[in-house]
Structure 1
Amino acid sequence: MPSFHNGAVEIAYLDEGEGEPIVLVHGFASSKNVNWVYPTWVSELKKHGKRVIALDHRGHGESTKLYDPEDYHLGLMAGDVRALMAHLGIYRADMMGYSMGARITALLAANNPELIRSAIIAGLGIGLVIGGGPGENVAIALEADSLDDVSDPVGRTFRAFADQTRSDRLAPAACMRGSRRLMTREEAADIKVPTLIAVGTIDEIAGSAQELQQLIPGSEVLDIPNRDHMRAVGDRVYKEGVLAFLSRRP
């Protein structure tokens, strides 16, 4: 798998297909493979004429593992995405982020709109600005000796996911503590690029997609029926909705 260095941090990535580029930004405790390859996003987008770029965040997948929460501020992680685009000579792209990756996508859409042709904010609704969902409870769950020691239901969900993906659990724990910056309502209103907000209808972590839509001018909502935070990723309605959005965005 190719990689490059952004400063001292080695970032693993994939770059496949030909056509208009789309950058995929995975969620917390996941990876480019778990979030995008295995659920067939990469193959589906390639089939529809896209050049697909996806990275492993610092602390995740095959990228450098770091254990200080200060190394996981969202601005630093957004900087890894910018650096990857520069490394590949991509000056503008569609971007889709899921959950934590949606926070990074939204931050780039607000602060670097020249890089973003369109933004797909998935697995995250009004939680982008009001918070909620995973927090210190998840970091503690990741640091526990075993899943049996975790009683918090949200913590158990993420700990089980980290065990399933064979994550280095201490790195995501540091990431959880360092990456919880919320976007202000004013920052969300600064997102002017075409934006799709895609959230499962029974996702109790993301917060309301419709409430976030009210903040982001001209944004659209894609409801993913009967899917929670973990099961929405590979959903057919989600894929079809994203492909339709990409086909009609300016």
Structure 2
Amino acid sequence: MQSFNHDGFELAFLDRQPDSGAGDPVLLIHGFASSHFVNWVSPGWFKTLNDAGYRVIALDNRGHGSSTKSYEPSDYSPDKMASDASALLDHLGVGRAHVMGYSMGARVSAFMALSDPAKVATLVLGGLGIGLVSGVGDWDPIADALLAADPAAIDHARGRTFRAFADQTRSDRRALAACIVGSRDELSEAEVGRIGQPTLIAVGTKDDIAGSAEDLAALMPNATAFAIDGRDHMLSVGDRTFKKRVLEFYAAHPL
């Protein structure tokens, strides 16, 4: 792991070239309560993309993994996290990359595509469909679950799931609670319609968080939806058909 400083945060990242030498860069942005390792290394994305000849770059978002934590919700707006991702490319001297995000990371990626369009060659939005526009439900109970003294007392089903995930990944739960409050900004239909990069939107058929991939793709000028068959929100990220479809997408849109 390496790190760099941006906006008062020390941000950890991993940058791996393929064995074959220099390859087109892919920037990976992980989801809420996750990390570069949990979302991208452990499920095999680094190996899959490296083996296919891509340079793979992934950061730990502020408040996550080995990066600096904050307990202020305002520090976690998607535009601020998008600026971290953009600054990482600047730090590495990468002018343009494929950008792929999962769940919250997909939201951050979409914000990045609007704020720094020249840096985003293509966009993959995993685990987030029309929820980018309409929202993804009431997350306040999840913040409460993250801060609960006794996890056994949590009676909100999704809250229990995310609390267990945060405990499993040994995350800073106070930082995550601030993040979930501050990171839920949505984009309007008009804003989504301005994302002109080739875009792949992939959502599991059993995902009850993301919203419809097809409905989001219909709002965008150059987007395609992909159904990750039989997978829910947690399991979609490592699905092999998702990996195969992303490799096909990148092959069709080389830098």
Q: Under a length normalisation based on structure 1, what TM-score does the superposition of the two structures give?
A: 0.98
Which residue is 1:23 aligned to?
A: 27
C-alpha contact (below 8 Å) 1:110/1:192 kept by paired residues:
no
> Which of 99, 111, 130 lines up with 2:103 in the alignment?
99
Deviation at 1:110, TM superposition (A): 2.2
Whichever residue aligns with residue 162 of structure 1, its letter is A
Which residue is 1:3 aligned to?
A: 3
Deviation at 1:218, TM superposition (A): 2.1
Which residue is 1:128 aligned to?
A: 132
> Which of 211, 228, 235 lines up with 1:231 in the alignment?
235
Q: Aligned to 1:241, what secondary structure does the other structure show?
A: helix
Deviation at 1:111, TM superposition (A): 2.6
2:200 paired with 1:203: no
Whichever residue aligns with residue 187 of structure 1, its letter is E
Q: Deviation above 6 Å: which 4+ runs of structure 1?
A: none
C-alpha contact (below 8 Å) 2:96/2:120 kept by paired residues:
yes
Q: Aligned to 2:100, what secondary structure does the other structure show?
A: strand
More off after superposition, 137-146 vs 197-206: 137-146
C-alpha contact (below 8 Å) 1:118/1:193 kept by paired residues:
yes
C-alpha contact (below 8 Å) 1:134/1:205 kept by paired residues:
no
Which residue is 2:78 aligned to?
A: 74
Structure-1 separation of matches of 2:234 and 2:113: 24
> Using a 3 Å threshold, how does the CA distance of structure 1 residues 161 and 197 change in structure 2: closer, same or farther?
same
Alignment of 1:1-250 (within 5 A): 1-17=1-17, 18-133=22-137, 135-249=139-253
Whichever residue aligns with residue 123 of structure 2, its letter is A
Q: Aligned to 2:218, what secondary structure does the other structure show?
A: helix
Q: Percent identity?
A: 52
C-alpha contact (below 8 Å) 1:95/1:118 kept by paired residues:
yes
Structure 1 unpaired stretches of 5+: none
Structure-2 separation of matches of 1:240 and 1:16: 20
Deviation at 1:134, TM superposition (A): 5.5
C-alpha contact (below 8 Å) 2:86/2:116 kept by paired residues:
no
1:41-91 per-residue CA deviation (whole Å, 9 max, x = no partner) reads 001100000000000000000000110101111111111001100000001
Instruction: Give me the CA root mean square deviation.
Output: 0.9
Whichever residue aligns with residue 201 of structure 2, its letter is I
Q: Aligned to 1:222, what secondary structure does the other structure show?
A: strand
Structure-2 separation of matches of 1:50 and 1:29: 26
Q: Under a length normalisation based on structure 2, what TM-score does the superposition of the two structures give?
A: 0.96
Structure-1 separation of matches of 2:121 and 2:150: 43
Whichever residue aligns with residue 236 of structure 2, its letter is A
C-alpha contact (below 8 Å) 1:70/1:178 kept by paired residues:
yes
Whichever residue aligns with residue 10 of structure 1, its letter is E
- Count of residues in correspondence between the two structures: 250
Structure 2 unpaired stretches of 5+: none
1:190-222 per-residue CA deviation (whole Å, 9 max, x = no partner) reads 000000000001100000011001111121111
1:163-200 per-residue CA deviation (whole Å, 9 max, x = no partner) reads 11111111010000111100111000000000000000
